[in-house]
Structure 1
Amino acid sequence: MASSVAVMEEEQDYVLKPEKTPKLDTSDWPLLMKNYDQLHVRTGHFTPLPFGCSPLKRAIKEYLRYGVINLDKPANPSSHEVVAWIKRILRVERTGHSGTLDPKVTGCLIVCIDRATRLVKSQQSAGKEYVAVARFHSDVDEAAVRRGVEVLTGALFQRPPLISAVKRQLRVRTIYDAKLIEYDPTRRLAVFWVSCEAGTYIRTLCVHLGYVLGVGANMQELRRVRSGAFSEAGPALVSLHDVLDAQWMLDNARDEAYLRRVVQPLEALLVGHKRLVVKDSAVNAVCYGAKLMIPGLLRFADGIEVGEEVVIITTKGEAIALAYAEMATAVMASCDHGVVARVKRVVMERDTYPRKWGLGPMAAKKKGMIKAGTLDKYGRPNESTPADWRTAVPLLGADAVASTAAAAAVVASTAAEAAAATATAAAAAGAPAGEAPANGAPAADAAATATPMSKEEKKRLKKDKSARKAAKAAAAAGAAGAAGAADEDAAKAERKRLKSAQKAAKGGDSAEKSEKKKKKKSKDAMVE
């Protein structure tokens, strides 16, 4: 038996050898997890937390709260009416849409529900595509129409039409591409496709097409075929009847499948953004508005530039926030510290994941220093902060500016107090204020060697200064009031004197008048 085992050991090597990991195909993964294996890996070490879930596996209430609808808007009702109807049908708190369509216009209208309404602004500014029908006022050649449509591309001046809900102000809008689909010379109708910037008026574009061809034209019909990330070509375009039927199936048959087909997760709007994957422990900090730092980054997309808008996601594919990149891809791959991105708009609700900040050794030390008073209440250095902490933990951004300003203010106030103390001592000793103190050290050295004041001492000095200012202002106001009162008494006496003089003069006049009356009466008596 032993010999057979020895023979087997000689023939075969029973050692575990590393095997090559089979390549993972993520091309068919949904939403933001698609092509996950093609993202650059910064680190693979993190602790998964049993919170959150894949966007497609959310509970139906959460699914609706984070949902969007690619609606085929019918003609005649306005966009606001349609959105209000959906809000009432689905019984949700908030709804919003990605760009107004005129009542007669049909096509893609992205309706965002509850938390997804935070993406409305970004979708409103996304590009749009339309198919329009224009009627010409006179006969025109098809080749000329084709040339005219192609000429009206690039940046164009536009003024909103007379029938519009906005101020009729001249503006510039960009037409990215336009082409003629069909032209009917008998009815003088042209069907053309336009890819344009948000806020473009196709009605005005049809009028300009008539100007270019010299025959005049107006828009007959319009349909939006793409809005941002959604288009009518996809299977997700639904009607109002679909929304109503899906909600009825949920209420009466407890069937969620129809509603899950009608409503899509908000992550479907963000598939065109470049991605930053973060650790589960960093998710809630980003939800509270913190900047994404290098230690919290797991994977990142290729080709990210500084200032570019990116989406921050979890390892399960949930969108956390839209953010502006603060580092390029090359810097993320080579750097071990710094800010990766700053948040633009948070999508995920706070405390979906637990709080995991402030649990490390440095955070514990920082809390102790705040408690001891060697850091201020915001964790920034003050006059009592040890030098080793200042060098070990450099401040960034606004914190650095605030800390520098505070330190400069403390140094200036300390120097001023030391100079004042030196001047007082010199005056008491009978020496001029500008001379050096008795120990021979200059005033600047005395100021530099002065012991730094505590926070409470500074507060007390500030309060005393404010009290002195208030007392001085009150004294000045009292003196002014007393002077004003004296002036007022003098004015009163003068008015009284003038009044009595007027009365005396009036009395003299009345005596003269009475004398004249008496003389007149005596004359009249003599005549009689």
Structure 2
Amino acid sequence: MADKSVIKPTASAPAIDTSSWPLLLKNYDQLNVRTGHYTPIPSGCSPLKRPLDDYVRYGVINLDKPANPSSHEVVAWIKRILRVEKTGHSGTLDPKVTGGLIVCVDRATRLVKSQQGAGKEYVCILRLHDAIDSEKKLAQAIETLTGALFQRPPLISAVKRQLRVRTIHESKLLEFDNDRHLAVFWASCEAGTYMRTLCVHLGLLLGVGGHMQELRRVRSGTTSENDDIVTMHDVLDAQWLYDNTKDESYLRRVIRPLESLLTNYKRVVVKDSAVNAICYGAKLMLPGLLRFESGIEINDEIVLMTTKGEAIALAYAQMTTAVMATCDHGVVAKVKRVIMERDTYPRRWGMGPVALAKKKLKTEGKLDKYGRITDDTPAVWKSAYVDYANNADGKQPEPVFGTSSESIVAAAGMAPKITVLDVAAKDNAPVKRTREEDASEEPESKKPKKEKKEKKDKKEKKEKKEKKSKA
């Protein structure tokens, strides 16, 4: 009998069920694979297993806002309770309004703008000023006020009272009591829609007048009131429990990783070696791509993530899914907003053989500080050197091997002479002028200044003479 403990090589890999994996790793096996070869780096960790300090700093709270305090007050209280540097929220709720308010902590505040623009859902109580004929008439009025509507903010509002267009995606009547003149309806709308104004419009449409009695937000973006919503008491109790008993479980249940807000974005998985470069603002190039989602179009907003499921940045796609699968070079995405802190992963740029050889030549003085060739540069390096920055035609010439530096300059079509000032202007580095450069620049730059000074002096003298003559 064959030994069952021995795993025999097969052409097909066993299927892994990733449908229950958390956050951005959900359905990871369904992502398109660019390459499976990369070197894992032990830095970073899964969002749910971060150390508590990092877990709080990269966390969001789905808060059930109480009535009466403003959104700003609630966010300030949470900042004081958790003792963190920054907090922000996903969209202002009026003091009397209750419901879902997403509070972002520290690093998660970088997602505030994207969450403020997300769609919202509300349940509203409408009070009519008189009885109407039937419930059907109210349902028709609610259905009429869907789509793009003109709205002017209410008299008491924090923004300029300017006419604007807002979209009501869907709305439906839930309950109606004609005797008490009360109606309850649900609406899914664009960010910035005023439900108070919508209630006034419903009253006008029915011919009896109306106003908003009560309002509750039930969804903000992808987060609804059913997704582990917590109260202010929960936040305070969780922090107290940790301070007094060092029990993290309650605090980890109250605060969620920021990745929970990004589950509706298209995902692109990045190699560990490219993570820190992106944190410093670099574009994602194809060699750093591991996996990508289907249906990505150019300029789509995507989330760049690590193999451990951490969000690195929000970015704009520069390639479609088809191009990512077939192309062998190019820019995959440009960073919109970096989320991960710098140096969470180690630096891995400038570690290749050519880059290391270049650093060595710089330290030995065989290349100048900008990496340009000098008289002491080895012949092999000179023959392979092409200065792309000073290419006159704008074309990228191929390096010419086995020839002198003069022939490379001729083949590349570069300008014959580069001054130190040109390089300093590009690199923003202070450079001392040579006497020759000063002499060559004097007639162009210094003469106009002298002429201006002479004109000013003449004007001042004339004014003085006129004053004396008047006196």
Q: Under TM normalisation by the shorter chain, which class is it?
A: 0.7 to 0.9
- DSSP 3-state at the match of 2:186: strand
* Number of corresponding residues: 434
Q: CA deviation at 1:149?
A: 0.6
Contact 2:391/2:415 (<8 A) preserved: no
Task: Tell me whether 1:467 sits opposite 2:454 in the alignment.
Answer: no
User: Match of 1:347?
Assistant: 339
Hey, what does 2:221 align to over in structure 1? Answer: 228
Task: Give yes or no for the alignment of 1:452 onto 2:427.
Answer: no
RMSD: 3.5
Tell whether 2:325 aligns with 1:333.
Answer: yes
Deviations 1:65-115 (A, max 9, x none): 000000000000000110111111111111000000000000000000000
Give the Å deviation of 1:20. Answer: 3.5
- For the residue of structure 1 that corresponds to 2:185, the secondary structure is strand
Aligned-partner residue type, residue 204 of structure 1: T
The aligned residue for residue 215 of structure 1 is 208
Gaps of 5+ in 2: 396-411, 423-432
Match of 2:54 among 43, 47, 62: 62
| CA distance in 1: counterparts of 2:138 and 2:222, whole angstroms | 30
State the alpha-carbon separation in 2 of the partners of residues 380 and 300 from structure 1.
38
Query: By how many angstroms is 1:483 displaced?
Result: 7.3
Cross-structure match for 2:175: 182
Change in 2 beyond 3 A, CA 1:187/1:43: same
Aligned 8 A contact 1:98 1:123 in 2: yes
From the superposition, tell whether residues 133 and 295 of structure 1 become closer, same or farther in structure 2 (CA, over 3 Å).
same
Shift of 1:184: 0.7
Larger helix proportion of the pair: 1
Letter in 2 for 1:227: S
Does residue 136 of structure 2 align to residue 143 of structure 1?
yes
Q: Deviations over 1:202-229 (max 9, x none)?
A: 0000011112222211100000000012
CA distance in structure 2 between the partners assigned to 1:226 and 1:31 by the alignment: 18
One-letter identity of the residue aligned with 2:117: S
TM norm structure 1:
0.75
Q: Paired residue for 2:305?
A: 313
Deviation, structure 1 residue 366: 5.5
Structure with greater Cα Rg:
1
CA contact (8 A) 2:281 2:335 kept: yes
Cα offsets for 1:14-55 (capped at 9, x unmatched):
996536422000000000000000000000000001100000
Secondary structure at the counterpart of residue 246 of structure 1: helix
Q: Indicate the SS of the match to 1:88.
A: helix
State the TM-score, normalizing by the size of structure 2: 0.83
Matched residue SS, 2:217: strand
Of residues 177, 185, 198, the one that matches 2:191 is 198
Match of 1:436 in 2: none
**Residue identity matched to 1:453:** K
Deviation larger for 361-370 or 82-91:
361-370
Q: CA deviation at 1:163?
A: 1.0
Measure, in 2, the Cα distance between the counterparts of 1:450 and 1:151.
Answer: 67
Amino acid at match of 2:74: V
Say which SS state the counterpart of residue 224 (structure 1) adopts: strand
Q: Which of 249, 253, 260 pairs up with 1:257?
A: 249
State the 1:478 CA deviation: 8.0
SS of structure 1 residue aligned to 2:44: coil
Unpaired segments of 5 or more residues in structure 1? 1-7, 396-401, 409-447, 500-528
Matched residue SS, 1:70? strand
Q: 1:369 to 1:247 in 2, by over 3 A?
A: same
Give the Cα separation in 1 of the matches to 2:191 and 2:262. 18
1:245-296 deviation per Cα after TM superposition (whole angstroms, max 9, x unaligned): 1111101111100110000000000011110001100000000000000000
The answer to whether structure 1 residue 107 and structure 2 residue 104 are counterparts is no
> Which residue of 100, 110, 116 corresponds with 1:118?
110
Q: Aligned residues: percent identity?
A: 62
Pairing partner for 1:288 from 277, 280, 284: 280
Q: Distance in 2 between matches of 1:105 and 1:485?
A: 67
The residue type paired with residue 226 of structure 2 is A
Alignment check: 8 A CA contact 1:374 1:386 kept: no
Q: Compared with structure 1, are the counterparts of its residues 147 and 403 closer, same or farther at alpha carbon in structure 2 (3 Å cutoff)?
A: farther
Q: Which has the higher contact order (CA 8 A, sep 6+)?
A: 2
Letter in 1 for 2:340: M
Distance 1:209 1:375, change over 3 A: farther
Separation in 1, partners of 2:186, 2:413: 78
Structure 1, 457-466 or 365-374: larger mean CA deviation: 365-374
Deviation at 1:363, TM superposition (A): 2.9
What residue is the counterpart of 1:46 in the other structure?
38
Structure 2 counterpart SS, 1:268: helix
Distance in 1 (alpha carbons) for counterparts of 2:414 and 2:143: 78
Q: Single out whichever of 190-199 and 19-28 deviates more from structure 2.
A: 19-28
Alpha-carbon distance in 1 for matches of 2:240, 2:286: 48
Q: Per-residue deviation at 1:455?
A: 3.0
Q: Following TM superposition, by how much is the alpha carbon of 1:368 offset from its aligned partner in structure 2, in angstroms? A: 6.8
Secondary structure of 1:289's counterpart equals coil
Tell me the equivalent position of 1:25: 17
One-letter amino acid of the structure 2 residue matched with residue 299 of structure 1? R
